[in-house]
Amino acid sequence: MKSFFLICFLCISGTLAARPKAETKEECYKSSGLTADDVKAVKSSSLTPEQQKVLGAYFACFLKDRGILSDNGHFDIEASKKDIEPEHLEIALPVLEVCGKDEGSNALETTMKLLMCTKEKSGNVLFETLDLF
């Protein structure tokens, strides 16, 4: 009986850990208030200060849900490697290794630093390659 519960727990844990990105994105769109216009602004590099806040909230939600970012602002580079498709690691890893080192005092602050650095180092390449929206 104990084995049965252990197997059930492991199956549920594995399912939760492997939550599809689509579910994460949908949940984070709702909680942050991110809109299609905000996404267009990211891609055209014309974000207003309010859109920057919304984008930061979206990515903080996204990264926390994926197990890549903690509430206290720690960015887990190893977890990010596991969440990126292998064919995209070559493009993403050099940027994330540099940008992931500059952590803030909380999740939102780290996310904003990460976004600004990523945009500076790669333009829109990572945003488009990694299917983050």
Domain ranges of the chain: 21-129
Q: What is the pLDDT of residues 20-47, one digit of tens each?
A: 888 999 999 999 999 988 888 887 777 8
Long-range contacts of 24-28 (CB under 8 A, 24+ apart): 24/61, 24/62, 24/65, 24/66, 25/62, 25/132, 25/133, 27/61, 27/65, 28/58, 28/59, 28/61, 28/62, 28/65
Among the ranges 60-64, 87-91, 126-130, which has the highest mean pLDDT value? 60-64
| Fold of the domain spanning 21-129 | Recoverin; domain 1 (1.10.238)
**DSSP-derived secondary structure letter, 103:** -
Which amino acid belongs to residue 101? K
In this predicted structure, the answer to whether residue 93 has a pLDDT above a threshold of 50 is yes
